[in-house]
Structures are given as structure tokens and as C-alpha cells.
Chain A
Amino acid sequence: MNAPEFIQLRVKRQDNPTSKPYWEDIKIPYKPNMNVVSVLMEFRKNPINTKGEKIDPIVWECNCLEEVCGACTMLINGVPRQSCSALIDKIYEKYGSDKPIVLAPLTKFPVVRDLMIDRQIMFDNLRKVKAWVQVDGSWDIGRGPRMADRVHEWAYPISRCMTCGCCMESCPNVNSKSNFIGPNTIAQVHMFNAHPIGEMQKEKRLDALMGPGGIQECGNAQNCKRVCPKGINLTMSIAAVNRQVNKRALQRMFDK
């Protein structure tokens, strides 16, 4: 790769939640080993667009810069991912360094400003399915139940879900016409239902996944698993929870 003189970005901007979006072209001098976040950080030290106009710095969310907090998720050349781990040199290897890198906010969530979005719905969904272990209290009552290593092996990866929204963004069934709860939330149900104490409230979580927006809205596109930055096997979880839901539905029929 020939090192370009500038790193060019084309950014989809929006001044506030109700205003119209527009595109802005910006550039900063090329340095090796940069990522999208460090480019935006560099830009705000001298926010002048390619037309030479003084503009407001780009607004985006970021926090840990280590791809564990999930904050800085955006569309980079159309792919939902964390911008901190989006290395410029790697992007150039894939797409070439002559074209601007295109940044846009995720489309499945309301825009707050520029690349910043509101993902509250994902936290609300976790609440809906009671994504927690219902302990009696946080007090010290001694050692908890044992858990087999083989359960830990598949459940631990799910616990690394950072609610970033990549799976929601890539899922065709999450759209303005559906209120599909999304792959990540279903995976959380899978994990909590496997925990020795969490298992005791399994039915409540499964009930929350029946009905409108529930697990049946999954169309098995399998995009979620492909885009998950933590490599969580979301489709495996959806299949497993689907079996639990079906069993639960049958059980409810017989209970009537």
C-alpha cells in the first residue's frame, strides 16, 4: 500500500434528533497506525472541512477504546462495527487508500447528533426479558452453586455481549415495521436460563419472548453471528432458546 498524504472521511452528519442529515468531507494528514476514533480526535483539534470551512467537530460516542464498552459503534463503509478497532491501515488494505472512508450512524436507532445514537431500546429489552439472576439479596450466604466447566465454556462468550447494536443493525427483521427484540437479548436469555439459579426463573424469560416482537420474528438471516465483534454464536443461542420457547408453549397449553 502506498501511504496516502491524507486520511479522508465522508461523514453523515445531523445536528439534532429532528434535523435533516447531510454529508461532510473532512481529512487529516496521514499517519500510520491510526483508527477511526483517533482520526476524529485529531480532527477536532482543527475542525476545517475539505472545502476549507470552519465547522463544528464531529460528534460521536466513545469510551474504552479497547472494544469492550461498545459505545463507539457506527457504520464504517457500510459495516456496523466499533470505530476504535477500525484501523485505518487495515481499511486501506481492503478498500484502497484512494477513496474516502464513509462513516454513518447506525440506522436502526434514533440519531442524537452526527454519529451518536440512542440505544436505550436494547437496555429496555433486557428489562423485558428479565435478564438477571433473581437472587434473594446481595448478602453473604456462602458459596454459590457449582457450574460445570462445559457450561461455562459456551456461556462465558455470551456474557461478553456489550450491547453494541451490531447484531440489531444487521438483522433484516429489526426494522420500523417490527419490534423484534433482537439476537443479543435472546442470547442473554439463553445464558441466564443455563445458570443454576437463573434457571429457576426460566419460564418468565421464555414467556417474555412469546408474542409480538418475540423470538418467532427471527427470519434466520444469520447476519447477527457474522457481524458480532465478540464472535458470539448468536444463531446457536436463538435455536436453543427457540426449542425452550416451544416446549414452554406446549406446557402452557396443557396447563390450561
Chain B
Amino acid sequence: MAEPKVVIVGGGLAGLMSAMKIAEKKIKVDLISLVPVKRSHSVCAQGGVNAALNTKGQNDTTWEHFYDTIYGGDFLANQPPVKNLCEAAPGIIYAMDRMGVMFNRTPEGLMDLRIFGGVKKHRTAFAGATTGQQLLYACDEQVRRYEDIGMVKKYEGWEFLSAIIDDDGVCRGCIAQNLSTMEIKPFYGDAVIIATGGGGMIFGKSTNSVINTGSAASAIYQQGVSFANGEFIQIHPTGMLGDDKTRLMSESARGDGGRIWTYKDGKPWYFLEEWYPAYGNLVPRDIAARAIYKVCVEMGLGVDGKNQVYLDLSHLPAEYLDKRLGGIMEIYENFYGDDPRKVPMKIFPAIHYFMGGLHVNWNHMTKIPGLFAAGECDYMYHGANRLGANSLLSAMYSGTVAGPAAVNYIKGLQGTSEEGAKKAGELELKKQQEYNDKICKMDGKENPYSLHDEMGELMRLNVGIVRNNKALAETDVKLQEFQERWHNCNIVDHGSYSNQTVLFVRQLWNMMQLARVITLGALRRDESRGSHYKPEFPNRDDENFLKTTIADYTPEGPKFSWEEVDISLVKPVERKYNVDSREVKK
């Protein structure tokens, strides 16, 4: 029998952590990534990573981290996995520290901790304002060490096209395409872990990287894996407007003392501090984003009459800012031209993170045996709203679960035939090659990049911060028109080498599928919960909607059902931030 092997798709934090954990257990890994793994989107995470290290004399506990995460997520997350996440957090952060992550230090050389949104305690370890970059690099370095001894083989510059599923419905590998030679080939493995991140590009402009199309997750969805809670899209309150993307200005700016304000009656108005005295500028992201929206759009009080308010750091010492927030100071200066040490930054909410994702069990396996999902592309830990600095944690933690779970799964395998895998692989390869040939011949009138722009604009307008049913229904009709128009795409690029348009056209179709999952999921959920806000239904409705949205693919469109949420550890209470969450009546 051939040596057991796991195929990991995605070289961000979740994928690299899985690879590390699997190689440690002496199982070989093929690691497929669109970009050199060191350039993955995890580098964009700025502010930090949460773990109740309790080194600040505040009696912090993993239970409080758990409670804040569940409460912050408006009680939609399954509670036992979140509890496990928070309990594992200190161990993971200590291991990352040993691996050389340049965390900021206290005067006695311990990791320093900062405070983040939706919490009352210093719980966020950080490396300046580039924490994601440092964590990713540390994982990249460890995986390179395993590459050096032959345990991991990297395939960088390959795009995942589809999973190989045999006659028994078991995942046996995947099909991927080389971005340069355009070669399509099967990668066989006893288990496959999808760690391909979120899908901000579905909204056109977001804080995401251009590779975050959600295309791989969508392909898996179209192959039968359920997509859960798609309608829960985090909108980050402090994005920097731009033509090509809305760049993130970290929540840590507020954690370290930044204040949000605009002018009212000619005077600075610190509306978050006024409306939410218990948390002030550190309310969770959904709350802050809606408040900024209200001030600008509904009250017409945006700075200079535009949709923007100030994020102000100019009252803090420059040296302090450079040491703790240098990364974002630099981004604002380089891309906007103003010095945030001297003048307040102008910001507005931006599409940021997918709380929903591929449906997995608590071992991160999807309903297809042998096919796992980890990181932002799964739906597990954040409920209806993610707390800041929990994403780096869940990305790493889900890797530490999915990796060993895949190894255990392989050890339990009996009597899987190599011929079965090969037969399924050749069939799937043929299918993908035919699809590719079809795309290469597309010579219609639609420019795929312009069509994508149109879709993004529509999604931002109607499926963003405020949603109403009429617009959502119209959006779905439009999305179906876009799908029709997709068939009339022109491939634009006729090169046979590094043809980026061929790949983009495929991604665009996959984005359109998930766009419908998001839009229809939002349409069905007649309540407001976390990031999902419908003025027609302004309250949370636990009786009808304390449920996970499940979308299953059919050629006619997503088919929806509900799944119960595991609330076995803490009872849902009203979520509000004008008072301390601990004082909200249980």
C-alpha cells in the first residue's frame, strides 16, 4: 500500500498549522497554494490574537474568553467547540512564542497584552500592528523545516478546482491547476483539508486580498458540502476608502486609545462613548459599524458631508504609536498621504470577514468523509459576529484540530482501493479539463472583470450593513441575471501561459454561487442578530432563528434548512453594550 498522505489546500495560518501538526505525526503532506504561502492573506491581520494569559493582574480566565466570544457572537455559535478554542488559546500562543514570533514585550520580557473590542480585559497578544504577518511567518518557517526533511511538499502557484470523490462518496484527493503552465492534474491523498479562507471578493471591494474569492469553498459546496451561516458577513467599522480596496485600520487603534468622532453642532461628538458608556470605542464591530452608518447615512453627520468619520490617534504620543501601531500608521500614510500621528484618520465600515462557511463537525470534517475544512472557510467559532483578534486564534486552532483529526481518520481507514481513487480521479480530471476548455473558448461580449465589479457593487449596496427583504429579493433576481450573463463572457486573454483571466472566469462563477447563498440566507432570516441587521425586524428572535442556516447546492439554487445550535453551556441573554455584559440579567 502507498504511504498515507494528506492534501492541504491553502497555505494561510490554518493550512500551515494543519501541515505542521500532520508532519509532526509523521504523515506526509502535499500543500497546494495559490500564492507562495508566505504571501497568504493571513499577513493582513493586524491587531493581535486572543488568549486568556492572565498576566495583567485582571483575573482573566478562559471561561471569560469563552463567554465574551459567545455573547459577542449573539449566541449563534455552538458552544462546546468555542469553549475548547478558548481553553487551547494560551497553549497555542505560548507555542507560537517559542517558535520566534516577535510579540511585543513587557518590561520584564513577557508577552504584552492589549485590550480589544467587546471585552473588559487585556487579552490580546500582539506584534505591533502586523500580528497576522508574524504568526504566518512563524508557521511558514516551521513548515519549511518539515519541507527540508521531506515531510511536506509544497505546490505553490496551483489553484484548487474540485475534490475527487469516489463511488462510495469518499474524498480521495483533489484536482488543481497550475497558474503558469495551466496544467490540470490530480493530487491523490487519503484526506483533504480545505483551508482557503473567506470570500470578500464576492463584495468586490473589501479588506480582503484579491485571492479571497471563496472559489474553492464554493466548488466544494457545489460538490455537496453544506454551507452554513453564509449571511453572516462581518463589516469592520474602520476601513480606509480606496478605489481598488478598502484597507483595514486595525481595531487595536481603538484598543490603544483611539477615539471615533464626527462634528455635531460644530463640536466634536464622540458618539460611541456617548451611546455605549460601558465599552465606548471598544464596542464589538457590528455595533460600531452600525453606529457609524447611522451617524453618516441616517443623520447626515459624516465628516465633510461624506460617508466617513474620524478615527483619532493624534492625542497619543508618536513614539507610543510607532511601537504599537507602526504597521497601520505606515499603511495610512503610504496610501492616503496624511500622518495619523498628527491628523485624525478618515474611515468608514468595510466588508471584512466571513463568520459562516463550510459546514463541518467538531472534528472539522465535512459531510464528505475524508474532506475537512479549517480556518475562515469553516463556520465554527464566531456565531453571528466575530470578536476582534479571535480570527487568528480560530485559524490556528482549527488547524490544530483538523490536522490531527485527518491523521486519525486515515488511521481508521480500511479497505479503500487505489483503483477506486484512480477511477474517480480520472473522471474528475476529465470533467475539469472539459470545463477549462469551454472557458478558454468563451468569446462573448461580457468582460469578466466588469461583470465582477457590477456584482460587487450590488452586494455591497443590498447585502451589506443594512438589509431589507425587498432589496434582497431583487438582488437574488439580479444575481441570476449575472449568471446568465456569465455564459456570455469573453476570455479577453488569449495567452496559453499564466492566463489569469481563464482562472478568474471560473472563480467568478463560483463567487456567484456563494453570492446567492449569502443573499438568500439573509432574506430568510427575519430577525437582527450580530452582523445581520434588518430594520424591518430589529430584534433578535431566538424562538424562530436561534438556528444555524444550512444551504445545500442544487442546480436551481441553494436549498435551505435549519440546524439547532448547541447552547448547552450558557443560556442566551439579551446582548447589549451600554452596560457591562456581566451585568446583563442571566
Contact indicator A112/B180 (Cβ below 8 Å) = yes
Determine the distance from Cα of A47 to Cα of B491 in the docked complex, in whole angstroms.
12
Determine the distance from Cα of A195 to Cα of B35 in the docked complex, in whole angstroms.
28
Contact indicator B335/A132 (Cβ below 8 Å) = no
Which residues from 81 to 110 on chain A have a C-beta closer than 8 Å to any C-beta of chain B?
84-85, 87, 90
Residue of B nearest to A134 (CB): B145
Chain A residues with CB under 8 A of B337? 87, 90
Question: Taking the complex as formed, is A16 at the interface, i.e. its CB lies under 8 A from any CB of chain B?
Answer: yes
Determine the distance from Cα of A61 to Cα of B180 in the docked complex, in whole angstroms.
12
Chain A residues with CB under 8 A of B449? 41, 44-45
Contact indicator B244/A38 (Cβ below 8 Å) = yes
Question: Taking the complex as formed, is A34 at the interface, i.e. its CB lies under 8 A from any CB of chain B?
Answer: yes
Contact indicator A127/B211 (Cβ below 8 Å) = no
Q: Which 8 A-B pairs have the closest CB atoms?
A: A140-B91, A146-B109, A132-B141, A38-B244, A113-B498, A144-B97, A144-B98, A16-B497
Contact indicator A156/B144 (Cβ below 8 Å) = no
Chain A residues with CB under 8 A of B148? 127, 130
Question: Taking the complex as formed, is A49 at the interface, i.e. its CB lies under 8 A from any CB of chain B?
Answer: no
| Stretch of A65-73, A212-220, A232-240, A244-252 on the interface side | A65-73
Contact indicator A127/B144 (Cβ below 8 Å) = yes
Determine the distance from Cα of A126 to Cα of B90 in the docked complex, in whole angstroms.
29
* Of the residues B41, B109, B242, B330, contact of A64 by C-beta under 8 Å: B41
Main secondary structure of the interface of A (DSSP, over half): loop
Which residues from 122 to 153 on chain A have a C-beta closer than 8 Å to any C-beta of chain B?
123, 126-127, 130-135, 137-149, 152
Interface Cβ pair total, 8 Å cutoff:
203
Query: What distance in Å separates the Cβ of B351 from its nearest Cβ neighbour in chain A?
Result: 14
Contact indicator B133/A138 (Cβ below 8 Å) = no
* Of the residues A34, A44, A59, A132, contact of B145 by C-beta under 8 Å: A132
Chain A residues with CB under 8 A of B110? 143, 146
Determine the distance from Cα of A123 to Cα of B145 in the docked complex, in whole angstroms.
12
Contact indicator B99/A138 (Cβ below 8 Å) = yes
Chain B residues with CB under 8 A of A132? 99-100, 141-142, 144-145
Question: Taking the complex as formed, is B104 at the interface, i.e. its CB lies under 8 A from any CB of chain A?
Answer: yes
Chain B residues with CB under 8 A of A61? 35
Contact indicator B243/A197 (Cβ below 8 Å) = no
Which residues from 481 to 496 on chain B have a C-beta closer than 8 Å to any C-beta of chain A?
492-496
Question: Taking the complex as formed, is A159 at the interface, i.e. its CB lies under 8 A from any CB of chain B?
Answer: yes
Question: Taking the complex as formed, is A63 at the interface, i.e. its CB lies under 8 A from any CB of chain B?
Answer: yes
Query: What distance in Å separates the Cβ of A250 from its nearest Cβ neighbour in chain B?
Result: 27
Question: Taking the complex as formed, is B277 at the interface, i.e. its CB lies under 8 A from any CB of chain A?
Answer: no
Residue of B nearest to A65 (CB): B245
Contact indicator A159/B127 (Cβ below 8 Å) = yes
Question: Taking the complex as formed, is A46 at the interface, i.e. its CB lies under 8 A from any CB of chain B?
Answer: yes
Given contacts A112-B180, A132-B144, A142-B94, contact A192 B100 (CB under 8 A): yes
| Sampled A-B contacts (18; CB under 8 Å) | A15-B495, A15-B497, A65-B245, A65-B247, A69-B43, A70-B38, A126-B144, A132-B99, A132-B144, A134-B145, A146-B105, A146-B109, A148-B105, A149-B109, A156-B127, A159-B134, A159-B137, A163-B36
Digitize B39-60: 1 where CB-to-A-CB distance is under 8 Å, 0 elsewhere.
Answer: 1110110000000000000000
Contact indicator A143/B97 (Cβ below 8 Å) = yes
Question: Taking the complex as formed, is B95 at the interface, i.e. its CB lies under 8 A from any CB of chain A?
Answer: yes
Contact indicator A87/B335 (Cβ below 8 Å) = yes
Question: Taking the complex as formed, is A56 at the interface, i.e. its CB lies under 8 A from any CB of chain B?
Answer: yes
Question: Taking the complex as formed, is A12 at the interface, i.e. its CB lies under 8 A from any CB of chain B?
Answer: no
Determine the distance from Cα of A90 to Cα of B330 in the docked complex, in whole angstroms.
16
Contact indicator A149/B134 (Cβ below 8 Å) = no
Contact indicator A147/B105 (Cβ below 8 Å) = yes
Contact indicator A65/B209 (Cβ below 8 Å) = yes
Digitize A42-64: 1 where CB-to-B-CB distance is under 8 Å, 0 elsewhere.
Answer: 00111100000000110101111
Determine the distance from Cα of A200 to Cα of B210 in the docked complex, in whole angstroms.
39
Contact indicator B334/A67 (Cβ below 8 Å) = yes
Chain B residues with CB under 8 A of A160? 128, 130, 133-134, 327
